[in-house]
Structure 1
Amino acid sequence: MQPASRPASTSTRPTGSPHPAPPHQVNTQTKVFDTMHGRLLCIADIRGRLFALNDLAREANACAIIHTGDFGFFEASSLKRINDRTLRHLTMYSPLIPSAQRTHLLATENPPSAIRNTAISLLSEFPLLLSGQIKLHVPVYTVWGACEDVSVLEKFRAGTYSVDNLHVIDEATTRVLDVGGIKLRLLGLGGALVPHKMFDNGDGEATIAGGQGMMWSAALQIGELVDTVQRVFDQTETRLLVTHASLGRDGIMAQLALMLEVDLTISAGLHFRYASSYNEFSVQGDYEGFRRKLLAGKEGFDKVWESVKTQVDAVIDGNQRVLLDMALAVVKRIPPLLNIPGLNGHLPGEESAWKNCWNWNLCDAAYGSFVLDVRDGRVSAELKSQGFNYAYRKTATPSATASTPHST
């Protein structure tokens, strides 16, 4: 892939348009670990329990952590920005709130202000990380999730906030981990995939999108990620796409993986008790089933695009047009039918990713983790999940139906 040229950004934003994206400068660095062997701990949804990152890294003997979102990017001022519904959701699932206190805060007689007036420490240890009271012992590479404060992420992007060993991977920020005989290129897309919000930045600037305690992926964000990958593309690297939204469920995310020509993907967002390991060949009935998933993603996007196309075209600037065209190219990335000759008269071959791109969807950090063990160029995988507890069945009383033989 060759880098695409990009027009300079306009200095003013037309009324009603998305925030203009600044001229693109890729933020990329290489981190050299033990080049013979390294273990990368992959986790999802730490949900603000950030002190646990060091414990998890030590238990896994990991040299770095890759995190797929819902990190806990909240500070004290975030409480006034989070809407009531999201605040209750965060309270329901926060690992920092004792059970009895959670029950009290979520009681029907308590208004949302009861939660909003509590300490931010109940939702996230991020302020402790920011102040240096918590220090990360190994590098942590994360995208943002569906429940984060966009204002906090904007401060990272602007350079106002920085934390030792914490790296936010986004559409313009990529890292290379030189470990175990490979160069692993980390690419990231944060936020939930909400099709009807893909042209809404909310309170975000440039290509970032979010507001009221929630964050989602935007079309311009996807376009900029494609541009970033084109600018740094190197055949000698192994490409790993880290997303919050599931590639197994969302056709657009699978199209993005195809467009970026990634080798491996890690995602979350489904909150299962077990992690999943698969390629498309292992879960689709046939190659056409793979195509149908991508076509379904395209159809969902096209419905939204057709409804807003006129408005977007009227206000978009030249720089945004480049990013939008790249996002539209992702959505159009459908492998051709195998039985129809191409323009050269030859039948197309199978898409390589059909069998060769491997995907992992992680359970929440409270229930398990995943380790990429890299040695001499080989990437092996270890999944650990707490799973379901079926012990109750040993003491269950047999039902009458199960214990009574059928009459003849």
Structure 2
Amino acid sequence: MKSTLIQRDDVRILAVADIRGEISIFNRLAKEYNADMIIHTGNFGFLDSASIDRIHESYLRHIVEFSPLLPENLILEISKLSKVTGRSVEHLSNEHENLKKLLRNHSISELEDFIQGKKKLDIPVYTIYGMCEDSLVINKFRYGVYKVPNLYIVDDSSIFTVEMKNQVLLFAGIGGSLSYHKLFHQGSTIDLKDIIGDGDEFSDLRGHESLIPVSGDPGNIWVTILQLGKLIYTLIDYSQQNPEIYNKAIKIFITHQSPTREPLLEHLAIFFKMDYTISNSLHFKYTSSYNELSINPTFEAFKAKFNDCRTKFATIWKNVQPKFEKLLYGLNDPMMITCVELALEVFDKIPISTKSSDVIIPLQLSKTGDSDTSSMNLQSKQRELNAIIRQLNDLYYISFQNTWHYNLCDLGYGSLLLYFDDGHLSMQCKAKGFDFTYRGQSEQQVHETKVSDDFDIVARPVDLTEGASDNDDGGGPYIIRKQRSASSLIFHIIFFLPNNVLFKPIGYILFIVTYPIKLVMYLLFYRVSLRDQQSPVAVESASTTSSSSPSIKSLTSSSTSSSSSPTPDDVIEFEVDKGDDGIKSPTEAAPITRHLPSGSSSTTPRGGHGTPSSSLSSKRPKKKLVFPRLLFNFDISNPPNMPKKTLVLDLDETLIHSLSRYNSSILTKNKGVTVEVRLNNSGLATLYHIYKRPHVEEFLGIVRHWFNLVCFTASIKEYADPVINYLEGEVILKDKADNKATIASSVVSDTVFSQRFYRDSCIFIEGRGYVKDLSFLTGRDHIKSPSFGPSLSQTPSPSPSSSPKVVPSIPSTLSPPSLILSPMDSGRSRSRSRSRCRTGSRARNSKTTDLSKIIIVDNSPISYSYHRDNGIMIEGWINDPDDFELMTLLPLLNGLRFTSDVRAILGLKNGQSAFK
């Protein structure tokens, strides 16, 4: 782990891809862009003079085809050695003329000139190795046999930092292609004598015991589970030794393939809280810059690819596990066993979504190894990945919005310049792009001019005279026609003439003759169907239980609470939306109300098929309508003499979403409101744009009559109070407008929330974030973790420059405790010592509430981790205008207000915890 020191506050970083052996171009680019350092991804050109003899001809052809160092006439001559037919590619090499003989006096990489000192790099270059490299050359760099000043290879064993005056840049990553069927295949066996040479001893190499040879074949490098585990080991080890640097560093993850296309790589970027990823593209003409929120419709769609990735990985692991473990333990290498165990443990925690019948294949070794490896295994366990795993869902959500991805085009088409100054990392992108000059040329010029090299097409002259039309005006594209032979003409007459002359005319005649008959029959059946539908039929009560494949249903708008009488003139038609997404719940929409004529009634079918009781009409195709969001009207009045339970509601991403800048894409219907936040210890004011979650007024307007509402947010008071005041005002105005403010035997106050709790009432846990302690409502002493649990610290007070909006704390892998206390254990323990552990807490209420009467709704399970049996997880809301999560909670909350202990119902979900 080498560190570079720059005595400035700004730095210019040039990012390029695929130099393919033309290493001297780095010096020219450094002068052109005035760069301080260069990040390279893709094929670097780790080749020497002996690589041509080692690399297989199929790999060598690919390297030669894109090499910028070889003359064009040589590449053309090499291309003649292959013949492409309709079925295969034939290589015409022989002992007298073959590819390797043609390359004998040519160099495919300048690397040897830099190794020998003939050339040098002017600025530091941080690179990974690509896919088309020589594995032996990479291993020589890895073991220190080859060295080039200012060249730093970022791999599974090495990460690098650049220290400036007030900031640190951290470069981590891994090279090679990622293919699932090669994850457990090391590749060609390399003799260590070939790496170090005959004159040296392997034991003399520095750090040889912790190094693992790169996997792959000469000319084809790939990633293995062993290298991924080594990368995890290296990052955790560095974060433990340098916790402050790792926390404040701007972390850049460099890979050959794009992490957004390979979920295993992106999972590592999320796991270790990378801020940026830089990868090589598939020879694109432009550099791509994006985050996952910009390319995924929903957060669930983003997580779906990780679910598929883990399933594919687990299936392969199940098949290769016995043989792989036999080979692994046969090597008796503690470092290799530890790396594999770490990789399996990290990938096992990829979020999954399965049906109850699906079997989740565990990713773990069947045994822990012998006594020689026990210390290494114990060391890996002590690194406590649980601190990250507990907040993995939050990490995914943070990365979904904040991690930025750069997918670079080839160096021949463009580059990316990152400029860090005054705390900001700006971007300048340059791309050559597509060549559209051919569209402005005349047709004669198009056929005389060679096609641009950007399209990788070999232009060929086309004879346009044969078969040209006499009345062709030159306005359209040329069509080349060939005269048919006599045999072809006879064939067309025999097979196609009867069809065109006989069969098609007969079909047209039959259609014309029978069409009036079909029209008359349809009108007759339609009249009979209308008469049957208008016959009086008794109205049946609608069943809210949907069938396995429901179509059209009808039910009256009567309330299940029997408080309102049914109205037979209004009928609600609906159906279940049959989405093909197995992860998301069925999409819900508003019911469609149809007004029936006076004296008529709706017909509720038996079996849930929704067709009228007519044999003729039942044969017609059923209409597709929409499943209703609310099948009954809630009786919002509370029964007399029944005490209200307490409902604790989160604020941000549960009831509202706020931004420090205006975002027109949040909601077109609701433009939100601007709230000014002014900190007590600062004269600066910040404007926040508040956006209400869909149906938040209806939700609060109902549950305020059912429960004693409490708002508990991890934001600071100066920010939360204006937002809550605005939200309460909207609810009260809507209640008055709907004439619901007066309820029998109920007095409605001008406030929605009876109590408010803020960040100073939360417990701040290092490595997890803010946890909401419901003991404020129970009157008990506040929870304090025991000595062997997670360390607690005082809630940090916001600095004047910090945003008052709470940012979820990213768990740290830096100094994990030896044992992490389970949230369920800490929430249920009765024998632990309790004491106050925060400052600025308000006094206990004189009237306390039992935990059996408290419900908390939050979008983060970490917030109620001390009281999991009281929590209801709701999906966080950002910008979905069709969100309906709040209204779907009403049936559950309606039932919970009549239970004696809410934990008896809500605690059932803990049996299927996703990260147990």
Please indicate the TM-score interval, normalised by the length of the shorter structure: 0.7 to 0.9
Q: Shift of residue 375 of structure 1?
A: 0.7
Q: Tell me, in whole angstroms, the C-alpha distance in 2 between the residues paired with 1:148 and 1:399.
A: 50
Q: Do 1:226 and 1:259's aligned partners in 2 also have CA atoms closer than 8 Å?
A: no
Q: Tell me, yes or no, if structure 1 residue 150 matches structure 2 residue 196.
A: no
Return structure 1 stretches of 4+ with deviation > 6 angstroms. Answer: none
Q: Tell me, yes or no, if structure 1 residue 362 matches structure 2 residue 408.
A: yes
Which residue of the other structure, out of 280, 286, 290, is the alignment partner of 1:278?
290
Could you say what secondary structure the match of 1:388 adopts? coil
Could you say what secondary structure the match of 1:41 adopts? strand
Q: Tell me, in whole angstroms, the C-alpha distance in 2 between the residues paired with 1:348 and 1:63.
A: 37
The residue that corresponds to 1:196 in the other structure is 181
The residue that corresponds to 2:161 in the other structure is 176
The residue that corresponds to 1:20 in the other structure is none
The residue that corresponds to 2:224 in the other structure is 218
Q: Tell me, in whole angstroms, the C-alpha distance in 1 between the residues paired with 2:38 and 2:105.
A: 24
Q: Tell me, in whole angstroms, the C-alpha distance in 1 between the residues paired with 2:262 and 2:20.
A: 23
The residue that corresponds to 1:376 in the other structure is 422
Query: Deviations for 1:55-110, whole angstroms, at most 9, x for unmatched residues?
Result: 11111110111111311000111111111111111111101112222101221365
Q: Shift of residue 332 of structure 1?
A: 3.0
Taking a change above 3 Å as real, the CA distance of residues 352 and 98 of structure 1, as seen in their structure-2 partners, is: same
Could you say what secondary structure the match of 1:188 adopts? strand
Q: Do 1:281 and 1:354's aligned partners in 2 also have CA atoms closer than 8 Å?
A: yes
Q: Which has the higher contact order (CA 8 A, sep 6+)?
A: 1
The residue that corresponds to 2:18 in the other structure is 45
Q: Tell me, in whole angstroms, the C-alpha distance in 2 between the residues paired with 1:348 and 1:358.
A: 18
Query: Deviations for 1:215-270, whole angstroms, at most 9, x for unmatched residues?
Result: 01111111111111111122121211111111121111111211221111101142
Aligned length: 366
Q: Tell me, in whole angstroms, the C-alpha distance in 2 between the residues paired with 1:384 and 1:267.
A: 16
Tell me the amino acid that sits aligned with residue 390 of structure 1.
Answer: F
Q: Tell me, yes or no, if structure 1 residue 30 matches structure 2 residue 7.
A: no
Could you say what secondary structure the match of 2:126 adopts? strand
Q: Tell me, yes or no, if structure 1 residue 128 matches structure 2 residue 102.
A: no
Q: Shift of residue 35 of structure 1?
A: 2.5
Taking a change above 3 Å as real, the CA distance of residues 166 and 120 of structure 1, as seen in their structure-2 partners, is: farther
The residue that corresponds to 2:263 in the other structure is 251
The residue that corresponds to 2:236 in the other structure is 230
Q: How does 1:9-408 map onto structure 2 within 5 Å?
A: 28-108=1-81, 111=93, 114-117=98-101, 118-119=103-104, 121-179=106-164, 181-203=166-188, 206-233=212-239, 234-317=246-329, 318-335=334-351, 349=394, 351-395=397-441, 397=443, 400=476
RMSD: 2.2
Taking a change above 3 Å as real, the CA distance of residues 347 and 273 of structure 1, as seen in their structure-2 partners, is: closer
Q: Shift of residue 348 of structure 1?
A: 6.0
Q: Shift of residue 33 of structure 1?
A: 1.9
Q: Shift of residue 377 of structure 1?
A: 2.0
Q: Do 1:258 and 1:333's aligned partners in 2 also have CA atoms closer than 8 Å?
A: no
Q: Tell me, in whole angstroms, the C-alpha distance in 2 between the residues paired with 1:41 and 1:96.
A: 22
Could you say what secondary structure the match of 2:59 adopts? helix
The residue that corresponds to 2:208 in the other structure is none
Q: Tell me, in whole angstroms, the C-alpha distance in 2 between the residues paired with 1:329 and 1:269.
A: 30
Q: Tell me, in whole angstroms, the C-alpha distance in 2 between the residues paired with 1:99 and 1:173.
A: 38
Taking a change above 3 Å as real, the CA distance of residues 36 and 145 of structure 1, as seen in their structure-2 partners, is: same
Query: Deviations for 1:326-359, whole angstroms, at most 9, x for unmatched residues?
Result: 222343343478xxxxxxxx99656210111111
Bigger CA radius of gyration: 2
Q: Do 2:271 and 2:392's aligned partners in 1 also have CA atoms closer than 8 Å?
A: no
Q: Do 1:370 and 1:383's aligned partners in 2 also have CA atoms closer than 8 Å?
A: yes
Q: Tell me, in whole angstroms, the C-alpha distance in 2 between the residues paired with 1:154 and 1:100.
A: 33
Q: Do 2:290 and 2:404's aligned partners in 1 also have CA atoms closer than 8 Å?
A: yes
Tell me the amino acid that sits aligned with residue 31 of structure 1.
Answer: T
Q: Shift of residue 304 of structure 1?
A: 2.2
Which structure 2 residue ranges, 5 or more long, are not aligned?
Answer: 83-91, 191-211, 240-245, 354-390, 444-473, 478-916
Q: Tell me, in whole angstroms, the C-alpha distance in 1 between the residues paired with 2:36 and 2:71.
A: 31
Tell me the amino acid that sits aligned with residue 58 of structure 1.
Answer: K
Q: Tell me, in whole angstroms, the C-alpha distance in 1 between the residues paired with 2:123 and 2:189.
A: 30
Taking a change above 3 Å as real, the CA distance of residues 207 and 159 of structure 1, as seen in their structure-2 partners, is: closer
Taking a change above 3 Å as real, the CA distance of residues 375 and 292 of structure 1, as seen in their structure-2 partners, is: same
Taking a change above 3 Å as real, the CA distance of residues 386 and 311 of structure 1, as seen in their structure-2 partners, is: same
Taking a change above 3 Å as real, the CA distance of residues 121 and 129 of structure 1, as seen in their structure-2 partners, is: farther
Q: Tell me, in whole angstroms, the C-alpha distance in 1 between the residues paired with 2:219 and 2:105.
A: 13
Could you say what secondary structure the match of 2:178 adopts? coil
Q: Shift of residue 310 of structure 1?
A: 1.0
Q: Tell me, in whole angstroms, the C-alpha distance in 2 between the residues paired with 1:347 and 1:147.
A: 35
Q: Shift of residue 121 of structure 1?
A: 4.4
Q: Tell me, in whole angstroms, the C-alpha distance in 1 between the residues paired with 2:340 and 2:262.
A: 19
Q: Tell me, in whole angstroms, the C-alpha distance in 1 between the residues paired with 2:3 and 2:254.
A: 17
Q: Do 2:81 and 2:98's aligned partners in 1 also have CA atoms closer than 8 Å?
A: no
Q: Do 1:181 and 1:374's aligned partners in 2 also have CA atoms closer than 8 Å?
A: no
The worse-fitting range, judged by mean Cα deviation, of 135-144 and 346-355 is: 346-355
Q: Do 2:299 and 2:397's aligned partners in 1 also have CA atoms closer than 8 Å?
A: no
Q: Shift of residue 207 of structure 1?
A: 4.9
Tell me the amino acid that sits aligned with residue 80 of structure 1.
Answer: D
Q: Shift of residue 300 of structure 1?
A: 2.6
Taking a change above 3 Å as real, the CA distance of residues 241 and 333 of structure 1, as seen in their structure-2 partners, is: farther
Q: Do 1:241 and 1:265's aligned partners in 2 also have CA atoms closer than 8 Å?
A: yes
TM-score, normalised by the number of residues in structure 1 = 0.84
Q: Do 1:207 and 1:218's aligned partners in 2 also have CA atoms closer than 8 Å?
A: no
Q: Do 1:204 and 1:210's aligned partners in 2 also have CA atoms closer than 8 Å?
A: no
Q: Shift of residue 324 of structure 1?
A: 1.2
Q: Do 2:114 and 2:120's aligned partners in 1 also have CA atoms closer than 8 Å?
A: yes
Which structure 1 residue ranges, 5 or more long, are not aligned?
Answer: 1-27, 338-345, 402-408
Q: Tell me, in whole angstroms, the C-alpha distance in 2 between the residues paired with 1:177 and 1:31.
A: 5
Q: Tell me, in whole angstroms, the C-alpha distance in 2 between the residues paired with 1:348 and 1:248.
A: 17
Q: Tell me, in whole angstroms, the C-alpha distance in 2 between the residues paired with 1:331 and 1:191.
A: 19
Q: Tell me, in whole angstroms, the C-alpha distance in 1 between the residues paired with 2:149 and 2:138.
A: 16
Tell me the amino acid that sits aligned with residue 236 of structure 2.
Answer: Q
Q: Do 1:47 and 1:72's aligned partners in 2 also have CA atoms closer than 8 Å?
A: yes
The residue that corresponds to 1:9 in the other structure is none
Taking a change above 3 Å as real, the CA distance of residues 399 and 254 of structure 1, as seen in their structure-2 partners, is: farther
Tell me the amino acid that sits aligned with residue 301 of structure 1.
Answer: F
